[in-house]
Each structure stands twice: as C-alpha cells, then as structure tokens.
Chain A
Amino acid sequence: MRSSAMRDMMAITARPEIISLAGGLPDTSTFPSETFAAEMDRITRTAVAEVLQYGPTEGTVLVREQITKIMAAEGMTVDAADVTVTTGGQQAIDLITKILIDPGDILICDAPTYPGAIPTFCSYEADIIQIECDADGMRMDLLEQTIADLAAKGRKPKFIYSIPTFQNPGGVTLSLERRKRLVALARQHEILVVEDNPYGLLRYEGETVPTLYSLDGGNYVVYIGTLSKILSAGLRIGWLVSPTPIREKVVLGKGASDLCTSSLTQDFAGHYFAHDPWREYVDELVGIYRNRRDAMIGAMSEYFPHGASWNKPHGGLFIWATLPDVLNTADLLAKALTKGVAFVPGTAAYVDGRGASSMRLNFSGVKEDEIIEGIRRIGSVAQEHLALYETMTNTNEMRLPDLDENGGNS
C-alpha cells in the first residue's frame, strides 16, 4: 500500500456498512467472558499496583515462560531467557529491521509478502528483493540464484524475512524439503532468516511441518511469534527469539521505542496461559475458521468468473485469488466498495507493481453469511467488468457514425 491514493481508499473499508475481507482480524467474539472476568478480578484483588507499573523491557518472566510453552506446542525448545516480549509481532518486525538494516542494505522476502511489513522495511530504506512463491512457498532455486548473483557483485542480504507457514498473503506453506534447504543456505552463506509465524497453530488440515527455528536450533533463525491470532490482537503481545548478541540489541532498541510492553496485558496473558485451557480455545478458533475458509472457497467457486484461480490454504487467515489479467484489483476495489465489500489488492504485497490482478481475502474476521455475500458482490463486479471488456474487444471492427467535436458519443 505504498500509493497514498490507495492508502486513502482503504480508509473507507473501516466504515461499518462495509463487509471487510481486507483486514487480518481474529474473531474475538467467542472468547469466554467468564475467563476474562476471572482474570480481571484476580488482577483487581492481587496485582493492581504491579500492573499499573512499568515492567522489564524484555518482558515479564511469567509471560516469557508461557511463551516457551506455546512454542513447545509447535515442537520448539527455547530458553525463556532468549525470549524478548514485544508490542505485537509488528514491533518484532520493526525492531529486527531497525537493528539489522542500514539504508541500502539488501533484505530478501517472499513474493508476495506481508503487506504490513513493507512500510517497515521501506522506512529503514532497505533494498527489498522479493523471491517468487509457488504452492510450496518461496522458491529455493530462485533464492540460491539471487544469493549467487548478489555475491558476484560483492553483496549479501542482511536477512531473509519469511512467513513459511500459512503465509500472509499467499496462504501457502513452505515444504519440509525447502525448509531444510533454506536452513542449509542460511548456514552456508551465514545469512539470518527471520521466521514470522503468527498462524502456525491455526491448522485446519494436513500434517504439521517443523518450524525453521526447530530445524535450525536458533543459530541462524530469528523467530517472531504473537498472541494476536491465538488469544487477542488487542493485548498487543508478540515476541522475538534470537541469539544473544542480537537479543541484546533488540532489548536496547525496544527500550528506546517504548520502554516495555504493557504490564497489564502481560499479566493477563501470563496467567491465562499458565492456568486456563488455552489449547481448547485455539481448537475452537480452528473449527470456526475452517468453516469460514470452506464457506469462502465454496462462494468463490460459485461466484468468481471463469479464469479466476485461488488456493485452499491448510491454515492461517487468508486466501490469495488471481483474476483474469485484464482486471486490475486496485480499480476493482473502488467498484467493490460501492457495493459494500473490501479486500486487499495484490499490489500491496509487492514493492514493484506486481500482483495487479490478484487480491488477498481474509476469512477469519466475518461470519459465513457475510463472507458468502461479500464474495458474491466481488464476483459480480468482476463479471461485469469482464463482460464490458469482452464487449470492447469483440466489436472493434464495427464502425459507428461520426463523432461530433467533443464527447458526442457519450
């Protein structure tokens, strides 16, 4: 979303009458209110002074310990001392970019990549190279070639940023073979890999694939996690696991940014993960999101035009769809907004204008009936535009009577 005109257009998606398939919002409506009340009651009775106070920059011991437990659920063994709590995963992306990138440094990421990371990378003036993804995630042949081409010019990327599991926005998952290859390349060329894994626990089908962090053991892989998709985006708790020299700089950088993440939300989250059945809640979300994904795919099959294509992600929050290439999804969005539905145009996920006929669709934030209606409206606008295009391209041989001087044929 580098274009400011486009950014302004997205402002309209926040209006209540719009069915927004644009955000990446988790559904927080099913979180048990009694659990929330119990935690707040406990805080009121026992921890008021503490939660109203500053906390350690690297995060509270309790939350960091619980984070190791969450990571263990995905097969990772990590020492709480290596965890830095951040204000959402977004701050983790910001901090790692801030400490590693000087203006002009090369940074490699997926193509398409997380649209929210691009402004961060740009603000530190990184030279961004995007490596094409296919159904098995980032293409390692292209990555190897890029690293070799850079080396020939005496250059080396500062780090490789990737969401290998249920990628945002593509929905694809990096295959085990490619994960091993990526970790091997990182070691061979001594390049850091930043693994962003917000969705790993939201798997709707298929076998779990080990994280890059677990394959690497934390030598060349810096890991970013978040509670946003498994508990709450509003608590703003994420984290970063990194080797000690990087961690020290991260903590310094975080101190300079915001001193510490909220003591209140850390206390809430720490006790919640320590005492409440959090896996059950995640399982419940998985059930809800799986149904929504299936509703979206069903609606796309019914309403999207011939020639459109999309994937069926095994987890996460997004479907990436591509329309026939005569359609520009940024322009289509303008029309879709007049019909009360929003999505993210594909160009937001690239730095070079690619993705013009693609779109990112979120299925976690709205209920099935709204998803179906939203997809129906997008499909109908796309069909209208295609029909108009076909009318124009099939009738070029016909001639009409002369135009008058200006605009006489309108």
Chain B
Amino acid sequence: MKVALLSGGRSLERGVSLRSGARVAEALTNLGHEVETFDLTADLVPGLEKCRPDVAFIALHGTEGEDGTIQALLQLLGIPHTGPGIAACHRCMDKSLSKHILREAGLPTPDWVTYSEAAIRDFGAASSFQRAVDSLGLPLVAKPASQGSSLGVKVVTRVEDIPAALISALSYDSRALLESWVGGRELAVSVIGDQVLPIVEAIPTDNNAYDFEARYEIGGASFACPADLDDDVASEVSQVALAAYNTLGCSGFSRVDLMLGDDGPQILEINAIPGLTETSLFPQAAEAAGIEFEAMVGQILDLAVPQDP
C-alpha cells in the first residue's frame, strides 16, 4: 500500500511525534509498504493530493494532529487514516469535555472545575477559588484543558498558590482545569481495535508524589508491564478504560490514563494518539501482549477506515 506518514507538526509534542514517526516509517517499510512522510507545512494538502496515498498513518500528537484538525482535512481529501475520527479527537483533546461525557456515562473521573482565561480576566472568576477549594479539597491539580504531556501541570497545596498554577496551565491553552488530587497508582491502559492490552504502571522512583515534572525526567519513573494487580482489579481497570474508549467514540487505537486509588480507578485522560517511541507506553503494552512493534503498526494500519462525515 501507499502510506502517507504524518509526523512532526507544530505542537509542543513535535519531538515525540518525530520520534514516533521515524519508528513507524521503518516498520511500514519493513512491512512492504511504500511510505511518503509529511510534516505539517503549507505543502501538506498539495503534497497529499499529488501523492494520493491509500491511507494516512497519523503519528502526530497534541494540537492540530490529535485534535481533529488533520483528521478533518484527510476526510475532505477522502484519505482513510489511522486512529480515532474527528469527533473522538475533539472529545479526547478537551479534558473538560471528555470528563463531562464520562460523568454523564457514569464513568469515574475526579471532580473538577474549568476556568477560561476570559472568565478570569473579564468576569472576576478568581473570587471563586476558595469555593473551588471547598468543593475539590486540597491538594488539587491545575492542568491545561488540552495538553497531552506533563507540561503546565502543577499541584496546588494552598489556595493562594492557585493564581500562579493557573498562569502556568493557561500558558498552554485558553482554559485550565482544577482537579481533585487522587492518590494511588498511575496506570495506562492501551486499546487497539477492541482489544485491551496489558496494563502499564508508572512507578515514580522518588518520594515526592506531587512532583509531576520528576516523572518525566530520565529515570524519574520506572514502568511495569503488565502491572502487578490482582486479576479482579486488573479486570475492573480494563473494563473502565474500554468503556471510556468506547464512550468517547475512539477507534483504531488510543490510551486511557487512570489513577487507581482506594475508591477504585479514576479516569484522568484519554490520549487519542498515544506516543509510539522506543520509551512510549503503548508499544510496551503491545509487546507484553506478544505483539511486536511491526505487527502492532500493521494492525493499526488495518484498522484505518474512512471516517463518516
């Protein structure tokens, strides 16, 4: 098949995307496909029109690549693509929206409030911070509404620290969430097609549970796959994750991140297009299920279907 590989882009996750893309390109070539690589530039649409690929493999992360923008373009061009469709991308990218949808479906996700920059700047929303703390408790987590990595995530332990934490979060998006802190084990559940892969657990190697940045340092976290969980717990976590995946309308492949606390699993976010680098969690989960990287790329490609308008 002729495959257009989309990687790079303009989001803050460009680096991850380029690494995912390079690895996927090699796998696709080894699988016997003809691969042409595209970055997000002014030549993208003319290039795709000229190339006329059978399918587009989207190895993009973050804004524009994972939020439905590129998916909509590919639909217009009539090119089938890997991963979730436009609407699912929208739902996953916007954490506030995804949490509302999960709540309505009766799925567990930590309490939260959403602040827009406009509400703070123009409507005096800051005077509600104490009310937010009363309702969410402390500590709480400030995070941008649409950012897939640890960037802009701050743990707040005092109400007076909310302004600086929101400034950080609002550096990445025009809306930010304050979310109840959920302690527990950090789990990632990868789904390919309708198959749930073995659960990955991120185990922080230092003792500061509130240090999000540290987890993204080299050596800041170690990973266990499959996670050491009792069968019934693993089954519950997998079911919740698959329900979240289906509820948000994901297809192809995605990754659901959860915290496993005393009250069971709580869904934090769904990554519509998870990273596929050497150190990414999705390929680790696939490997634990006995699916080598090339075979995994092949499966993701087979699941690519034209999206309904």
Contact = CB atoms under 8 A, between A and B. Distances in A.
Nearest to B132: A403
A151 interface: no
Contacts of A402: 131
B10 interface: yes
Contacts of B100: 406-407
Contacts of A12: 10-12, 14-15
Given A3-B216, A11-B18, A334 B164 contact: no
Contact of A5 (B119, B135, B150): B150
Contact of A15 (B10, B96, B130, B131): B10
Interface string B1-21: 000000000111111101000
Nearest to B113: A407
Contacts of B15: 7-12
B242 interface: no
B10 to A, nearest CB: 7
B172 interface: yes
A400 B96 contact: no
Interface residues of A, number: 41
A407 B124 contact: no
Chain B, interface size category, equals: 35 or more
B107 interface: no
A387 B167 CA distance: 10
A331 B168 contact: yes
A68 to B, nearest CB: 40
A330 B121 CA distance: 22
B171 A385 contact: yes
Interface in A288-328: 326-328
B127 A399 contact: yes
Contact of A388 (B12, B120, B213, B216): B120
Nearest to B63: A338
Contacts of B192: none
Given A396-B126, A410-B114, A403 B12 contact: no
B119 A8 contact: no
Interface in B168-211: 168, 170-172, 175, 177
Interface in A369-410: 385, 387-389, 391-393, 395-400, 402-403, 406-410
Contact of A326 (B112, B123, B167): B167
A236 interface: no
B78 to A, nearest CB: 28
B126 A326 contact: no
Contacts of B172: 331, 334-335
A4 interface: yes
Contacts of A9: 12, 15, 151
B294 interface: no
A2 interface: yes
A2 B168 CA distance: 19
Contacts of A407: 96, 100, 112-114, 177
Contacts of B113: 403, 406-410
A337 interface: yes
B213 A410 contact: no
Nearest to A12: B14
B164 A326 contact: yes
A267 B21 CA distance: 39
Given A5-B150, A328-B168, A403-B135, 11 more contacts: A2-B218, A5-B213, A8-B12, A8-B149, A330-B151, A331-B172, A335-B172, A400-B125, A400-B127, A403-B113, A406-B114
Interface of B: 10-16, 18, 96, 99-100, 103, 111-117, 119-121, 123-132, 135, 149-152, 162-164, 166-168, 170-172, 175, 177, 213, 216-218
Query: What 7 A-B pairs come out closest when comparing CB atoms?
Result: A11-B15, A8-B15, A398-B127, A407-B114, A410-B114, A331-B171, A392-B163
Interface of A: 2-12, 15, 326-328, 330-332, 334-335, 337, 385, 387-389, 391-393, 395-400, 402-403, 406-410
